[in-house]
């Protein structure tokens, strides 16, 4: 399978999502600006279904193009009047280019966050993250069971939503002939939302591989996204598109990338 199959898969998935019944949802729950902030807030009291398609350019010595499709739903559960539990699994399908091209699923990740219910200014959450060796080929996964801590801290004030989400994964079981996993992930975010629902943000995904040589350890993209939050009928959703260039990257990694996301939002019941 190739990137064309991945594009087709993403189109079918988005079509099914957008064509699904919205259910009982009050479009007057929030302003467009607040809706846009809720779409970007990892601990907002919404059930979220984001679907993100990413294309990496300049991959490998022959400057190929690679694609990935990521689905990362966010499911809040009310534990009490004071606390929520956020469950966030992540499933990614990837096309790796090159002479030995691969298409399939990467390792499954799942995070749990304990977060104060109803936080409006300082928003935080802490918990564990696990990574399961579910990849469909050796090239797409680690072959290792990994786990570690994860957490996020965000500050919301007026049109601004700024913060950082991070986790660390270390392997503890799995195929012993495969390399160990010891990786840190840091995702800072600076975003500004307009009253119309449009927003701009810088939201790079930084990684550091502690098992790699120093020259290949960092992956540092830098760029920006522009997006909008709106309601279609009774369905709240957001969409965004962005471009990021890599200031640091491991050998063979993409030189730059484009990404596009559509996210459906459903108010969580309390």
DSSP secondary structure, 101-161, as one string:
-EEEE--EEEEEEEEETT--SEEEEEEEEEEE---SSGGGS-SEEEEEEEEEEEEEETTEE
pLDDT-based confidence at residue 166 (cuts at 50, 70, 90): very high
Q: Is the pLDDT confidence value at 20 over 80? A: no
Contact 227, 256 (CB under 8 A): no
What's residue 186's pLDDT? 98
Give the Cα separation of 136 and 14 in Å (integer).
23
* Per-residue pLDDT at 106 exceeds 50: yes
Q: What percent of the chain has pLDDT over 70?
A: 88
For residue range 188-212, list pLDDT tens digits in order.
Answer: 999 999 999 999 999 999 999 999 9
Query: Both tokens of residue 19?
Result: 């064509």
Q: If you count DSSP H runs as helices and E runs as strands, how many of each does the chain have, helices first?
A: 3, 15
- Enumerate residues 6+ apart whose C-beta is below 8 A from 203: 187, 188, 189, 190, 191, 225, 242
Instruction: Compute the average pLDDT of residues 76-94.
Output: 96
Confidence of residue 99 (pLDDT cuts 50, 70, 90): confident
Classify residue 157 as exposed, middle or buried by CB count within 10 Å of its CB (0-12, 13-18, 19+): exposed
- Tell me what the mean pLDDT of segment 99-128 comes to: 94
pLDDT at 227 over 90: yes
Average pLDDT (29-53) is: 91
Distance between CA atoms of 136 and 145, rounded to whole angstroms?
A: 15
Q: Phi, psi (5° rounding) for residue 73?
A: -65, 155
In this prediction, residue 267 has a pLDDT band, given cuts at 50, 70 and 90, of confident
Res 7 pLDDT > 70:
no
Q: How far apart are CA 32 and CA 39, in angstroms?
A: 10
> What is the pLDDT averaged over residues 147-174?
97
> What is the chain's mean pLDDT, rounded?
89
What are the residue ranges of helices labelled H in 133-245? Answer: 214-217
pTM, two decimals, is 0.87
Report the pLDDT value the prediction gives residue 269, as an integer from 0 to 100.
66
> In angstroms, rounded to a whole number, what is the distance separating the alpha carbons of residues 33 and 28?
12
Q: What separation in angstroms does the CA of 131 have from each of 12, 75, 95, 201, 251?
A: 27, 18, 20, 28, 24
Please state which of the ranges 7-21, 93-107, 141-155 shows the lowest mean pLDDT.
7-21
Collapse the DSSP code of 179 into the 3-class scheme (helix H, G, I; strand E, B; otherwise coil) and give the result.
coil
pLDDT for the residue numbered 23? 37
With a cut of 70, say whether residue 1 has pLDDT above it.
Answer: no
Q: Residue 7 carries which DSSP code?
A: H
Q: Please tell me the total number of residues recorded for the chain in this structure.
A: 270
For 3-267, CATH gives 2.40.160.40
At residue 30, the pLDDT reads: 59
| Contact (CB, 8 A) for 40 and 191 | yes
Structural tokens at position 23: 């259910």
């Amino acid at each position: 399978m190739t990137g064309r199959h991945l594009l087709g898969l993403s189109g079918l998935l988005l079509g099914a999502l957008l064509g699904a019944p919205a259910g009982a949802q009050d479009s007057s729950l929030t302003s467009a600006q607040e809706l846009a902030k809720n779409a970007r807030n990892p601990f907002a009291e919404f059930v979220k279904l984001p679907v993100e398609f990413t294309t990496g350019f300049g991959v490998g010595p022959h400057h190929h193009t690679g694609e990935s499709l990521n689905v990362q739903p966010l499911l809040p559960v009310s534990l009490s009047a004071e606390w929520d539990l956020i469950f966030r699994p992540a499933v990614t399908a990837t096309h790796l280019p090159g002479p030995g091209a691969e298409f399939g699923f990467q390792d499954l990740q799942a995070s749990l966050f304990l977060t104060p219910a109803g936080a409006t200014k300082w928003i935080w959450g802490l918990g564990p993250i696990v990574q399961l060796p579910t990849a469909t080929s050796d090239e797409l996964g680690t072959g290792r069971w990994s786990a570690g801590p994860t957490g996020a801290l965000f500050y919301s004030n007026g049109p601004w939503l700024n913060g950082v989400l991070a986790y660390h994964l270390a392997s503890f079981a799995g195929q012993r002939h495969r390399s160990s996993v010891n990786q840190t992930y840091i995702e800072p975010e600076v975003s500004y939302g307009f009253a119309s629902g449009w927003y701009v943000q810088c939201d790079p995904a930084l990684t550091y591989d502690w098992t790699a040589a120093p020259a290949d350890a960092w992956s540092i993209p830098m760029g920006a996204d522009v997006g909008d939050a709106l309601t279609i009928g009774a369905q709240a959703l957001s969409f965004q598109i962005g471009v990021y260039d890599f200031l640091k990257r491991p050998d063979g990694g993409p030189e730059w990338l484009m990404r596009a996301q559509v996210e459906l939002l459903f108010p969580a019941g309390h």
